[in-house]
Structure 1
Amino acid sequence: MDPQASKNTRVDYSHEVTPIKNPILRTMLMILSFVFLGVGFVGVFLPVLPTTPFVLLSAFLYARSSPRFYNWMMNHRHLGPPLRRWKTTGSIPRSAKILAISMIAITLIPSILFVVPVLAVKVLLGIIGILVATYIATRPESDKVA
């Protein structure tokens, strides 16, 4: 059961954070977290750039570097629910699965057919697309908001 019962309640997720002791490495992880979160934000507007993996990676890196920013992400109005759902159940809502797999097809198929000239790269793109789509399709489904 999710500890965040009310939308206005801020939950402290600091107990989930295990900061790295080395201050230089911790600072590098924080910088990378900001970069990946920024790339994820850009991915909202560019269909060829996936948002979710970068947001998940950013949350993972914040969990190793900054309780403050990890708490911010987990309590964020838009980022928090899917992060909490993924953390607790590993599930993806059906609508998100459909959108993700559709975007993979919409971007990869024309690239394979019309843009990429090298056969080996075409095959590699096809294999990667199929593997990613299969991974997404086989995740549990949950339309509940965490």
Structure 2
Amino acid sequence: MDPQNLHNPVIRYVLIAIGWLAVVLGVIGIFLPLIPTTPFLLLAASCFAKSSTRFHDWLLNQPHLGPYIQMYLNGKGIPTRAKISILVVMWLSMTVSALLFGKYLAVRIIMFIIACGVTIYIVRLPTLTLVEKTD
């Protein structure tokens, strides 16, 4: 389906708006532990694929996020280094957040459950083996 030929322009603009909101939330999720980055970026890619070729291409060609989205969408997974980085940053930020903001035990337990769930998800993703180029 060509996004430019979407019959209803209102739906097209709503999808674009949802896509941009998802991009913003995904970028915020890089820095805040309770907001998941990957699902929002995948939602943005899906919305843009159905509404705007230009925005879809822009997202997939981003130097830092684009390759990971493309590898994920193609079922190739993510590199080991990325998995380790994701998990280390997430657990550090969750620990700091729990110590600083987790006044109630229930909040700390919920944060721990979220961290465990994300860890299981990341570990179960296929691991991409990068091939080094030799000259």
TM-score by length of 1: 0.72
RMSD: 2.7
Say if 1:19 and 1:99 are closer, same or farther in 2 by CA, change over 3 A.
farther
Q: CA deviation at 1:47?
A: 5.1
Mark the CA change 1:77 to 1:121 in structure 2 (over 3 Å): closer, same or farther: closer
Matches within 5 A, 1:1-20: none
Instruction: Check conservation: 2:94, 2:115, Cα contact below 8 A.
Output: yes
Fraction of identical pairs, as percent: 32
Question: Are the counterparts in 2 of residues 19 and 64 from structure 1 also a CA contact under 8 Å?
Answer: no
2:25 counterpart of 1:39: yes
1:26-54 deviation line (CA, Å, top 9, x unaligned): 2111012122223334455x354554333
Gaps of 5+ in 1: 1-13
Structure 1 residue corresponding to 2:96, chosen from 100, 103, 110: 110
The structure carrying a bigger helix percent of its residues is 2
| Alignment correspondent of 1:25 | 11
- Superposed CA offset, 1:90-135 (max 9, x none): 5011111111111111111232234212222221111111011111
**Kept in 2: contact 1:19–1:66 (CA 8 A):** no
Q: In 1, are the aligned partners of 2:19 and 2:43 still within 8 Å (CA)? A: yes
Does structure 2 retain, via aligned residues, the 8 Å contact 1:19–1:63?
no
TM-score, normalization: structure 2?
A: 0.77
**Which sections of structure 2, spanning at least 5 residues, go unmatched?**
none
* CA shift for structure 1 position 22: 3.0
**Amino acid paired to 1:92:** I
The residue that corresponds to 2:114 in the other structure is 128
Instruction: Report the CA distance shift for 1:19/1:76 in structure 2 as closer, same or farther (over 3 A).
Output: farther
Query: What code does the residue aligned with 1:26 have?
Result: R
Q: Paired residues, what number?
A: 130
Please say which of residues 55-64 and 99-108 is displaced more in the overlay. 55-64
Report the equivalent of 1:73: 59
